[in-house]
Structure 1
């Protein structure tokens, strides 16, 4: 009986793991669609929006650091930065601490954040409503799972760059 129970438990765990992976794939699709539509509203391409979000969350950043975090080639990044600067989303500032006079840091234009918040307000409201249905302990588990999923995604992306 124990062997049958163990087999059933392993099968159920595989099914649940597959369900989590399927849900993450569905989430990825929906977030990609949301980001594409969001980018259309603020006139930024998907990759531009990703770079802007990275600058706003982790900046100021050097172009080299941004290219690494965004997983884009430095030559590609130049065009992205030109578009974002032209539209007033970022500024390039000389890095006074660098011995290289060409060194710059990238900073988001914080005054424009209200536009970002307004466009994302629907999703933020829906997420607040969704989170109300979970206990603090459940939210801690969800946040931990999502952080670990992010690390797994970053490591997998790095593996693909090295291959």
Structure 2
């Protein structure tokens, strides 16, 4: 067995620590989202779709289904529940009157923000401890991680 130089071992250990932290963050954020879903009386996947509409919207149901990785028939049920709950509206697409676009109902957004306020305050406090340069590196890391997750999902979708 080839002996790995100490600096390579330290680098591998540090990289594994970052990976463990990303997994831990994913787990904790998933738990937070489940708790918030329960408080809002939404299913977990419904909250995810609502967040996507807020981020991407106005967006069509087919585009939302693709972004969420959900079958269009399943998406119909999600949208029915969100519309019935007063979370979003289906409106005629101004560019194509045969289509609809989904929009989050702005009067309901405050309910979601209120539940995330503790986490948002914690993130503000965490970010305050870093320099602007540090935050640029962190933002770049998180963007690259999200892009890698998207690519890994796409690869799984394309493999048998």
Bin of the TM-score, shorter chain as denominator length:
over 0.9
| Structure 1 residue aligned with 2:6 | 8
Residue among 116, 120, 126 paired with 1:120: 116
Matched, 1:39 2:37: yes
The Cα offsets for residues 3-40 of structure 1, whole Å up to 9 and x where unpaired, read as x8x71111111111111111111111101100000111
> Displacement, 1:97?
2.2
| Structure 2 residue aligned with 1:80 | 78
> Displacement, 1:160?
1.2
**TM norm structure 2:** 0.94
Matched, 1:49 2:51: no
**TM norm structure 1:** 0.92
For structure 2, the residue ranges without an aligned partner over 5 or more in a row are none
Matched, 1:149 2:154: no
Size of the aligned set, in residue pairs, is: 158
> Displacement, 1:96?
3.7
The Cα offsets for residues 33-62 of structure 1, whole Å up to 9 and x where unpaired, read as 000001111111111111111111110001
Residue among 54, 60, 63 paired with 2:61: 63
Q: Let me know the Cα RMSD of the aligned residues.
A: 1.5
